[in-house]
Amino acid sequence: MRRTDHRSGSAIALVAGLLASSAGLYALQLLVFRRTEDTFFYLLQDAAFLPVQVLLVTFVLNALLARRERQHVLRKLSMVIGAFYSEVGNRLLAQCVAADPGRGALRAAFADPGSWAKSERGVRELLRQHPLAVMPSAADLEGLKSLLAAERSFLLELLENPNLLERESFTDMLFAAVHLCEELGYRPLIAECPATDLAHLRGDVERVYRLLIAEWAGYAVHLKARYPYMFSLVTRTHPLREAPAAVVG
């Protein structure tokens, strides 16, 4: 409370000082030039322009500042998304792709980055052409279980990041991944689960797969437009390649 009271007192003192300075300058102008009509004329003229100044500051300047702040937040968000795919996302996507019966056609569609990494809308249209279905075995599910259990703390920390509010689809993907982690964690031996339960888990994996690949592709489009050197590494190491390798050859 004391700090707040101090700030309020400082603001009041500043306002009083500015008003007193303005009044003093107008008084000095009247005293020196003795042109009362001109003084009041320019005073009213400045007052007439005041609403325009308020409009410029309130809408135009604030809009520019908000846009700059949003760009700053989006840059931070790009770092968060990049960290996610570096730490766990690429491995998770690779396991999902390995369980996709149609992965051959999917890999062929994403073979040439220049043909698909032009816009997020184009990527979404490309993904709609592929079913993105998975048929994971019990061993595949065990692999996903181990991966997600090891990275569970990292996923939960990401969900606490306030910058994710700018991209709800990425947050939805993290929620889906955490949910899959919890579902798999409740099953000590997945190989002993009945077929109905395996079908349920397959649906959870497909949900993660669809969201994961869409976010990855959108992130790649963003890198191509803003950070081409990072995009170059992504195109060489992404999980949709038959043999990902960072070495340029």
pLDDT grade for 139, boundaries at 50, 70 and 90: very high
Quote the crossing angle between the two packed helices 168-185 and 138-150, to the nearest 10°. 110
Q: What is the CA radius of gyration of the chain?
A: 29
Q: How far apart are CA 54 and CA 64, in angstroms?
A: 15
pLDDT digits (tens, 9 = 90+) for 205-221: 999 999 999 999 988 88
Please, what is the end-to-end C-alpha distance for the chain in angstroms?
64
Task: Tell me the C-alpha distance between 31 and 158, whole Å.
Answer: 66
Q: DSSP state, 191?
A: G
- The highest-confidence range among 2-11, 95-104, 119-128, 214-223, by mean pLDDT, is 95-104
Tell me, what's the pLDDT at 145? 97
Quote the tokens at residue 72: 């700053």
pTM beyond 0.85: the answer is no
- List, for residues 51-88, the tens digit of each pLDDT value: 777 777 677 666 666 667 666 666 778 888 888 999 99
Q: Is it the case that residue 12 has pLDDT exceeding 90?
A: no
Mean pLDDT (the chain, rounded) = 84
Residue 37 CA: distances (Å) to CA of 31, 33, 188: 13, 11, 91
Q: pLDDT digits over 157-207, tens only? A: 999 888 787 788 999 999 999 999 999 999 999 999 999 999 999 999 999
